[in-house]
Amino acid sequence: MTTQAFVDPDEIRARFSRAMSDMYKAEVPLYGALLELVADINQRTLANDPALAEQLRQTGEIERLDQERHGAIRVGTAQELATLRRLFAVMGMYPVGYYDLSEAGVPVHSTAFRAIHEASLQKSPFRVFTSLLRLELIEDEALRQKAADILARRIIFTSRALELIARSETDGGLSEEDATAFICEALETFRWHGEATVSAEVYQQLHDQHRLIADIVAFKGPHINHLTPRTLDIDAIQQSMPLRGITPKAVIEGPPPRRCPVLLRQTSFKALQEHVSFIDAQGHAVAGSHTARFGEIEQRGVALTPKGRALYDRLLSTTRTHAPSESNAQAYMQALSNVFADLPDDYELLRKQGLAYFRYFVTAQGLAARNEAPMDLETLISAGYVAYEPLVYEDFLPVSAAGIFQSNLGDHTQAYYAQASSKDRFEQDLGALVLDELALYADTQARSLDVCADQLGITLL
């Protein structure tokens, strides 16, 4: 087989992302309502803000906006995580970043599978936040063993999916026919199954340890638990949700509202109570319920450099002396806005102070001055030969993720874990190193400068 016959992994990812969205829309109709709300508000925002529309046209984000979404799943074993890594690789998705959620009382650690090159991100920015249960945090030894045994018995991939992953690895890609089959088979892993694999009693034991443990251990597979579209105005979304009968969480996670958005802001609606069936000792189905799946919306802003991120983390922790709730939501948002006055709300300042990443573009004026342009970036910018746009943040935020997890777990489930998490251990289980997201942003920024130098026919100083 020749390489030409292979479907581009970016194309497989784009198709898979669409298939996932269609599946989730059928499973959770409220997700469809959320998509409509986001599409309405995005359209309105673009119509009212021509500068923003122009910025998104320049970076190409305007074309990916409607198909932009992330999902989240939780798995139980190293084997499951490692196989997921191989499955995502077929679609050009790689593990980026390490998130430790145990500090927030959630017994998992996580990574995000996503495309890593700006050209691939442009074709499909689909990401999956993927968490691995830290079984060792179950204190009761008998229960820990029981959970391990239950997990060891299940296979979350279809045999055809496993075959196709192996074929893609051996041959270096998938043919059109195989790619279509792969999407269909891979989708099965993320499908919701109303039938638990355990009795109501075992479910309750797992649930008493932590609701998340029941969600991960008691079912056939890692059902997608939310799918999140990207909005251009999350404050408008937060206000509009109740008008459509959707109740949002108390506060928007992440930075406060700004003229120049940074990183990521997220809000969600509470998890739905769903009918499930447990199995009794005779193997009969017993009706019950489970709460796991929810809806989320996010707004993405510019990626921060290590210096900018350190400032963000400091400002956030200054405000977040205790977790925001319904009762102090307004005061929290006000305090957040006050404290964040220290992070310049201006792209030029963010750039000059080395706080954020940007993509640089040669202007028409610059092209006209080819071979005669000055070689210093700041001079090129002030002469109008080079323009820049914010580089969008493609990742997640641990404190926000913890807030999203918590808002779906109920208030009484806050747990404290003394055992430290370990990135090394996660990577061992994953079977690969996680990529450093900051290096990826720096690479994209550097590539955009290379293109500028090339188009201007100069060596940038």
Strand bridging mode 127-133 / 69-75: parallel
For the segment 441-460, give every residue that binds Ni ion (CB under 5 A): none
Distance CA 14, CA 26 (A): 19
For the segment 196-255, give every residue that binds Ni ion (CB under 5 A): 228
State the minimum distance, in angstroms, from the CB of residue 413 to ligand OOG: 13
Q: Which is nearer to ligand OOG, 65 or 401 (CB)?
A: 401
Distance CA 148, CA 138 (A): 11
Among the candidate windows 14-22, 57-65, 147-155, 400-408, which touches ligand OOG by CB under 6 A?
400-408
State the minimum distance, in angstroms, from the CB of residue 398 to ligand OOG: 8
The item of Ni ion, ligand OOG, none sharing an interface with residue 237, based on CB under 5 to 8 Å by kind, is: none
Residue 252 lies near ligand OOG (rule: CB under 6 A):
no
Residue 102 lies near ligand OOG (rule: CB under 6 A):
no
Out of 189, 305, 400, 444, the only residue in the binding site for ligand OOG (CB under 6 A) is: 400
Distance CA 366, CA 156 (A): 54
Distance CA 40, CA 236 (A): 11
State the minimum distance, in angstroms, from the CB of residue 72 to Ni ion: 5
Neighbours of 290 (CB within 10 A): 22
Out of 72, 198, 218, 236, the only residue in the binding site for ligand OOG (CB under 6 A) is: 72
Facing residues of 359 across strands? Answer: 389
Residue 401 lies near ligand OOG (rule: CB under 6 A):
yes
Residue 406 lies near ligand OOG (rule: CB under 6 A):
no
For the segment 118-137, give every residue that binds ligand OOG (CB under 6 A): 129, 131
Q: Which is nearer to ligand OOG, 168 or 299 (CB)?
A: 299
Distances (CA, A) of 406 to 37, 61, 226, 401, 413: 24, 31, 14, 8, 8
Distance CA 266, CA 284 (A): 41
The tokens describing 79, both together, are: 């084997």
Q: Which residues contact 21 (CB under 8 A, 6 or more apart)?
A: 35, 69, 227
The item of ligand OOG, Ni ion, none sharing an interface with residue 196, based on CB under 5 to 8 Å by kind, is: none
Using the 8-state DSSP alphabet, how is residue 265 labeled? E
The tokens describing 38, both together, are: 């986001």
Out of 405, 417, 426, 441, the only residue in the binding site for ligand OOG (CB under 6 A) is: 405
Distance CA 368, CA 385 (A): 9
Residue 404 lies near ligand OOG (rule: CB under 6 A):
yes
Q: Which is nearer to ligand OOG, 185 or 296 (CB)?
A: 296
State the minimum distance, in angstroms, from the CB of residue 162 to Ni ion: 27
For 317, the enclosing helix (H) or strand (E) is helix 306-319
Among the candidate windows 22-30, 180-188, 193-201, 399-407, which touches ligand OOG by CB under 6 A?
399-407
State the minimum distance, in angstroms, from the CB of residue 409 to Ni ion: 14
Out of 13, 74, 109, 223, the only residue in the binding site for ligand OOG (CB under 6 A) is: 74
State the minimum distance, in angstroms, from the CB of residue 337 to Ni ion: 24
CB 400 within 8 A of CB 266: yes
Rounded to the nearest 10 degrees, the angle between the axes of helix 423-430 and helix 78-90 is: 60
Q: Which is nearer to ligand OOG, 70 or 351 (CB)?
A: 70
Choose among 292, 288, 246, 244: nearest CA to 267.
246
Distance CA 414, CA 106 (A): 8
For the segment 51-110, give every residue that binds Ni ion (CB under 5 A): 72
Residue the block writes with tokens 């050209």: 119
Distance CA 348, CA 62 (A): 22
Neighbours of 348 (CB within 10 A): 11
Q: Which is nearer to Ni ion, 61 or 296 (CB)?
A: 296
State the minimum distance, in angstroms, from the CB of residue 97 to ligand OOG: 11
- 3-state class (DSSP) for residue 276: strand
Among the candidate windows 76-84, 92-100, 291-299, 374-382, which touches Ni ion by CB under 5 A?
291-299
The item of Ni ion, ligand OOG, none sharing an interface with residue 445, based on CB under 5 to 8 Å by kind, is: none
Q: How many residues in the shown chain lie near ligand OOG by CB under 6 A?
A: 12
Q: Which is nearer to ligand OOG, 102 or 168 (CB)?
A: 102
Q: 253-272 mask for ligand OOG (x: CB under 6 A)?
A: -------------x------
Rounded to the nearest 10 degrees, the angle between the axes of helix 29-48 and helix 9-27 is: 120
CB 388 within 8 A of CB 357: no
Q: Which residues bind Ni ion (CB under 5 A)?
A: 72, 228, 296
Q: Which residues bind ligand OOG (CB under 6 A)?
A: 72, 74, 129, 131, 225, 266, 296, 396, 400-401, 404-405
